[in-house]
Structure 1
């Protein structure tokens, strides 16, 4: 029975994914705007309305409200430019060039922000489908219909929250960091050629690209939390993910430095392992604790249920304590081999880099960083409210002065 219902459960699960929901929302908004435009416009195929609706219906409610007006300005400006050209000249190669040039120039002055290219795109679309000024005005009407439908669609049907996608991206980044730690640990147990150590260094450098991808997913999640009535504590959820990614980014930089240190050590060791067997075993254990701690840290910052977050915090604290104990053993063993090697400074660098990772993942430091961000956010909001209060007091003072002068 369970096997028979599994496809249905997968369909329901996929149906609730943000990407699927957003696709359905965009399609519905475009179709509705087209149906409305058929009733209000004299054009037989009012395709500008669904085009505008697709442009206005953003992934998140916040981005819709902040960019929707600029998109409408861009489309309307493009339509008006096309109307002017369609009444004077036909569509030729030189008129197309003039339309594009005029659209890009005018787009800089109509406050459309990053949507300047859409002015030219809208103008070209309108110029290509109509050559009559009277029908071109219908394009303005269709643009307004699409914009209104798109805005209402996002206000009445709130876009999905993209926190799960951001959490998965963060989890993927942590998984690659843990794999890197595993590879670093494995190469300590055998002879490490410079080429192999350099390969680990390139692997660490690729984490920068992963961080950029995660940052984009997190920005999308942050926008989906803003102004969303379905989220109880949007500020806290947003800051938990952002501060967590900041800590992981620092850890990724430290791992890259550690790989650089191991590469430098490999250059000094033409044969044999980089460290004596007891020190190698302790370093491998330390890297194992760091890997587990990163995993627990990601579970902590991506947990949506308070109980799961508390369990993850306890596991993280336990793992960090074990990592610090292992770090002390590594320090003692490094002191024992310091007199036997001329590269003790590289050994000390490895130890310092492990210290920094343990410090970045520390539970108390994470709480302090989160409190600082919450305080900063509160101060920012208070400053905005103070500005509004000052404005209200000025207006009231002006009204009183005006009333007093009238009484005199």
Structure 2
């Protein structure tokens, strides 16, 4: 159990306020005979985004109307509650499963049960029930749109900052842990950590989808406090390639250390220079984390250039090193050099601009996770 964050608390309070307001409008002002439908609909429509509230509202009202009409029609035809249930419920469940309304399909049979259980299926009762549902839906959507409408951009910025930081920490661990006799267990740990980078990438894609959806129909997103621009989708592509390079590199190191593989270890000189290269590349990733959190600047550009230069010098020394006598060892060293060069190319800004626009020069793109994102 985690402590609720600000977003969850805000949405919970908004749902309670929407339910109370819907109850007041239908129960006190309209004097509806069964005001339960209004607060029920209002609570259900305080969703994670305003767009989702509107879309869910259409689906929910459709299913509640269908369940109400099916139950009222079955009761009018049969004149018996049990028989009406046997007629209406299969149709309501089938409709809820068949219609493209997602989880809202459950409201059709649930409403049919309410109508039949309370015996409120006369024409005036059906009209009141539909009116209460419409009022509750409208209250839920309006409250979600006007009271702290959720904008899911902080999660994108947090994950975009976490990814370069995770890469930096992993590259630093590899650089500090490589030696001529590094153990297989250590290489296996590097490889496992490199695979975990894809989890961050998947979370980032999900957060971008939430961010894009939260902008739609949202009247309040322009008034939120702005931070540094959120990197564009092209930025994700760059760090996907960086993660791929790290994974491939750690796999080569693992296979070279494994006794079950015939691939020999690279020469000691190659590993020494690779250690220097990866340590410098880790610092480049750390600079990118600073840029993501605080924006670009001359100082960060100078730091990036310094660390990239040191990494490319180490790569040049790797290439000039004395080749191993064993052809398999040369292949192992060549694979590491190719992966390292590709990694540095992906971390170089010029290469990034070829892959797409510089993400730091783009405005925040309204780019769907539902915690801590307001």
- How does the TM-score come out when normalised to structure 2? 0.76
The question of whether the paired residues in 2 share the 8 Å contact of 1:57 and 1:154 is answered with yes
Matched, 1:204 2:194: yes
Q: Distance in 2 between matches of 1:293 and 1:329?
A: 19
Q: Which residue of 2 aligns with 1:141?
A: 131
Matched, 1:360 2:360: no
Deviation string, structure 1 residues 170-203 (Cα, Å, up to 9, x no partner): 3334443333323433441363343443343233
Post-superposition offset of 1:142: 2.0
Provide closer, same or farther for how the CA distance between residues 65 and 117 of structure 1 changes in structure 2, counting only shifts above 3 A.
closer
Q: Which residue of 1 aligns with 2:371?
A: none
Post-superposition offset of 1:133: 0.9
Deviation string, structure 1 residues 78-122 (Cα, Å, up to 9, x no partner): 343344456555469x947x6554234324675x44345344464
Q: Distance in 2 between matches of 1:373 and 1:243?
A: 7
Post-superposition offset of 1:353: 1.8
Give the structure, 1 or 2, with the largest relative contact order (CA under 8 Å, sep 6 or more).
Answer: 2
Choose the corresponding residue for 1:179, options 134, 150, 169.
169
Post-superposition offset of 1:348: 1.8
Q: Distance in 1 between matches of 2:185 and 2:173?
A: 14
Q: Distance in 2 between matches of 1:32 and 1:232?
A: 26
Post-superposition offset of 1:149: 0.9
Q: Which residue of 1 aligns with 2:370?
A: none
Instruction: Name which of structure 1's ranges 308-317 and 27-36 shifts more when overlaid on structure 2.
Output: 308-317
The question of whether the paired residues in 1 share the 8 Å contact of 2:265 and 2:332 is answered with no
Give the structure with the larger helix fraction.
1
The question of whether the paired residues in 1 share the 8 Å contact of 2:238 and 2:355 is answered with no
Structure 1 runs of 4+ off > 6 angstroms?
none
Gaps of 5+ in 2: 364-374
Matches within 5 A, 1:212-231: 212-228=202-218, 229-231=220-222
Deviation string, structure 1 residues 340-388 (Cα, Å, up to 9, x no partner): 55232222222222222222333234345453999xx9xxxxxxxxxxx
Gaps of 5+ in 1: 1-13, 378-408
Provide closer, same or farther for how the CA distance between residues 137 and 282 of structure 1 changes in structure 2, counting only shifts above 3 A.
same
Provide closer, same or farther for how the CA distance between residues 331 and 95 of structure 1 changes in structure 2, counting only shifts above 3 A.
farther
The question of whether the paired residues in 2 share the 8 Å contact of 1:57 and 1:150 is answered with yes
Choose the corresponding residue for 1:329, options 317, 328, 336.
317
Q: Which residue of 2 aligns with 1:167?
A: 157
The question of whether the paired residues in 1 share the 8 Å contact of 2:88 and 2:112 is answered with yes
Provide closer, same or farther for how the CA distance between residues 224 and 197 of structure 1 changes in structure 2, counting only shifts above 3 A.
same
Q: Distance in 1 between matches of 2:341 and 2:82?
A: 67
Q: Which residue of 1 aligns with 2:367?
A: none
Q: Distance in 1 between matches of 2:107 and 2:152?
A: 29
The question of whether the paired residues in 2 share the 8 Å contact of 1:49 and 1:142 is answered with yes
Post-superposition offset of 1:148: 0.7
Where 1:338 maps in the other structure, the secondary structure is coil
- How does the TM-score come out when normalised to structure 1? 0.70
Aligned-residue Cα RMSD (Å) equals: 3.9
Instruction: Name which of structure 1's ranges 180-189 and 309-318 shifts more when overlaid on structure 2.
Output: 309-318
Provide closer, same or farther for how the CA distance between residues 318 and 71 of structure 1 changes in structure 2, counting only shifts above 3 A.
farther
The question of whether the paired residues in 1 share the 8 Å contact of 2:230 and 2:292 is answered with no
Provide closer, same or farther for how the CA distance between residues 246 and 57 of structure 1 changes in structure 2, counting only shifts above 3 A.
farther
Q: Distance in 2 between matches of 1:74 and 1:49?
A: 14
Choose the corresponding residue for 1:266, options 253, 257, 264.
257
